[in-house]
Amino acid sequence: MLFPSQVSAINIAELIGAKILGNKDAFAKGINEIHKVEVGDICFVDHPKYYDKCLNSAATFIIINTTEVTIPTGKTLLVVDEPFEAYLTIVNYYRPFTPQQTAINTNAIIGEGTVIMPNVFIGNKVKIGKNCIIHPNVSILDYTEIGNNVIIQSGTVIGGDAFYYNTKKTRDVWYKKMQSCGNVILEDFVEIGANCTIDRGVTASTIIGKGTKMDNMIHIGHDVVIGKNCLIAAQVGIAGATILEDGVTLWGQVGVNKTITIGANAVVMGQSGVTASLEGGKTYMGYPAEDATIKRRELVWIKRIPTLWKKIME
């Protein structure tokens, strides 16, 4: 999430009650979680296991709960007792939840020739391009950006909160919601079927690339990036922060694990489970999904097992 303008280290420290170590003159451009962090961003870490990863990331500011670390050159540490709570304070300050009383927010930007059907909800700071068709009962939530010539079928929700929680088993409630402050971007000529759900990024963007077509009842998790001209059939589920490169085809009921990459022009057959990254330009099937030519040979040999066993026992 980008701030409206750059914010000084001193102002951030005052907001969250932090002690500043390192570069006290730096300015923050936004806040991001570790998978999406960029130079100029604030990131938080609250477990020793991840201190080094965060300190050596692109982040300029690190909210942390210890002073017993080496501060990389040029970085700013913001030391607090509860870094996660500090993260929530920043997000809620710069992107607070604002209840909406109208179906279409007055600040929404809707392009020429776009058709908005009855019972559509359009939230805060939404941008919709030209010549789109938004069918009945679609919800387009805050900060979503939609390109030109996009079609969204009935019942779909764009921009719901990420399924993303901070876990501490020392709390009475183990899983505490990590406030989502990212958005969803649908590029030109995207088509989304009925009753799909596309979650916003935790702090960055969930992106559906130009020309991609999606069937009904598909779920796309937070921070997923789908390339251009992909084809996704019904009941597919894609977990958070996964990348589909251009031209990928996922047939019905494929399940895709988090934080992996499926290479360009790969095809995954129906009901397969993708548990690890896949090379592009091949066809895959099964669980775990593997090269379809190898998987088919395995199935042939499995069918032969009873005959082979019988011969052994004779």
Looking at the annotation, which residues are catalytic? 222
SS3 track for the chain: CEEEEEEEHHHHHHHHCCEEEECCCCEEEEECCCCCCCCCEEEECCCHHHHHHHHCCCCCEEEECCCCCCCCCCCEEEECCCHHHHHHHHHHHHCCCCCCCCCECCCCEECCCCEECCCCEECCCCEECCCCEECCCCEECCCCEECCCCEECCCCEEEECCCCEEECCCCCCCEEECCCCCEEEECCCCEECCCCEEECCCCCEEEECCCCEECCCCEECCCCEECCCCEECCCCEECCCCEECCCCEECCCCEECCCCEECCCCEECCCCEECCCECCCCEEECCCCEEHHHHHHHHHHHHHHHHHHHHHHC
